[in-house]
Amino acid sequence: MSLLEVEDLEVYYETEQGPAQAVDGVSFELEEGENLGIVGESGCGKTTLAKSIIGILPDAGYINAGSINFKGDDLTEMNGAQRRRLKWEEISMIAQSAMNSLDPVYTIREQIVEAIETHRPGTGRVESNEIVTEMFELVGLDPERADDYPHQFSGGMRQRAMIAMSLALDPSLVLADEPTTALDVIMQDQILKRISQIQDEINSSMLVITHDVSVVAETCDRVIVMYAGQIAEEGPVEDIFNNPYHPYSIGLKRAFPNIRMENQDLLSIAGYPPELIDPPEGCRFAERCPMATDRCREEVPSEHEMGDLRTYCHYAEDIDQELRPYADDPETWENTVAAKNAGAQAGDD
């Protein structure tokens, strides 16, 4: 049994125009000790997915269908009290903005001790303080500074304090939502290093949610590429980077500048993700895909197993033979429907 099994999950947001299908039929498994990355653009549903797992969806959001099995129990069927018990103890979260996630009027120690004592009544102060010291050392903070207030910490230190707090109760699953996005290069590097180190030292599983493919490349074993509420491709991180089959994975990777490469021709994916209130029929990426055919616009792609990868593209099998070099060429991407729409409009005047 996997630690986490998400099955056909549908998470919708109530809007005036009808429900927006933020997460639409997502299934995946996360093994114990595994580090899984979820990448995609804003609005692809990655944060909604994380929020459904930890149980902090905003009021307008609801789980329409599907299940989230954590250690065999379905989280979607639990009541508030049951879920609260799991929070921090079993599933914890490292939020994007540590600044807003720490309470400014309590010291860091008080906040961590509070979490420990709420979940484990009867834990003595001495024991709680030992945990604080241990966690501070784990994330590379001086334990003597545990009695500081959040404002006395720099951005990077606050993020480390957040990580310390999320690990204090030894959870089985840690969700990291854009853990380094608000940080500077050097701080980002130190946090990434800590995360990798922690992954080696403890046996928690980690779910890393980010738009930055380089963060995933450095911290994850497996990665899910999401697009418009659905999984486009999933598999081991090396395979997704070296031999992706989904045109969106290829495009996304080539849209990122790499500091180690000279004269890169960056690729631009013209257009925008579709409206999720009334999503297009067929493949949701079709409008922005250079290889899309009529079939793509009509028929929802099914799952294709390509080695260790699982790819949702009708032409996954053909990519290897002829389409990969074609998809890897930025010029190809000027031929998508979305790109042509921009061009056609230009021709009108």
Choice from 189, 299, 328, 329 touching other proteins (CB under 8 A):
189
Smallest distance from other proteins to CB 206, Å: 16
Please say which residue, 236 or 280, places its beta carbon nearer to other proteins.
236
Q: Does 237 bind other proteins (CB under 8 A)?
A: yes
Q: Does 250 bind other proteins (CB under 8 A)?
A: no
Return phi, psi of residue 53, to 5°: -70, -45
DSSP string of 286-321, one letter each residue: GGG-TT--HHHHHS----EEETTEEE--TTHHHIII
For residue 185, count CB atoms less than 10 angstroms from its CB and return exposed for 0-12, middle for 13-18, buried for 19 or more: exposed
Q: Does 242 bind other proteins (CB under 8 A)?
A: yes
- Please choose, out of 68-76, 213-221, 297-305, 314-322, the segment that lies near other proteins by the rule CB under 8 A: 213-221
**Residue 279 corresponds to which amino acid?**
P
Q: Does 213 bind other proteins (CB under 8 A)?
A: yes
**Binding mask of the shown chain, residues 114 to 153, with x at each position contacting other proteins by CB under 8 A:** ----------------------------------------
Looking from the CA of 205 toward its CB, the CA atoms found within 13 Å total 20
CB 304 within 8 A of CB 245: yes
Choice from 270, 292, 296, 313 touching other proteins (CB under 8 A):
270
Site for other proteins in 54-93 (CB under 8 A): none
Q: Are strands 35-39 and 222-227 parallel, antiparallel or unpaired?
A: parallel
Please say which residue, 80 or 347, places its beta carbon nearer to other proteins.
347
**Residue 43 corresponds to which amino acid?**
G
Q: How many CB atoms lie within 10 A of CB 285?
A: 27
Choice from 139, 267, 292, 319 touching other proteins (CB under 8 A):
267
Smallest distance from other proteins to CB 312, Å: 18
Smallest distance from other proteins to CB 5, Å: 25
**H helices within the chain, ranges in order?**
46-54, 80-86, 98-101, 108-119, 125-138, 155-167, 185-201, 213-219, 237-242, 247-254, 294-298, 316-318, 324-327, 337-348
Choice from 29, 148, 212, 329 touching other proteins (CB under 8 A):
212
Number of continuous H segments (helices) and E segments (strands) in the chain? 14, 12
Q: Does 256 bind other proteins (CB under 8 A)?
A: yes
**Rounded to an integer, what is the distance from CA 10 to the centroid of its chain?**
16
Smallest distance from other proteins to CB 320, Å: 19
Binding site for other proteins (CB under 8 A): 41-42, 154, 156, 184-186, 188-190, 192-193, 211-215, 217-218, 237-238, 241-242, 251-253, 255-260, 262, 264, 266-270, 272, 288, 330, 342, 345-346, 348-349
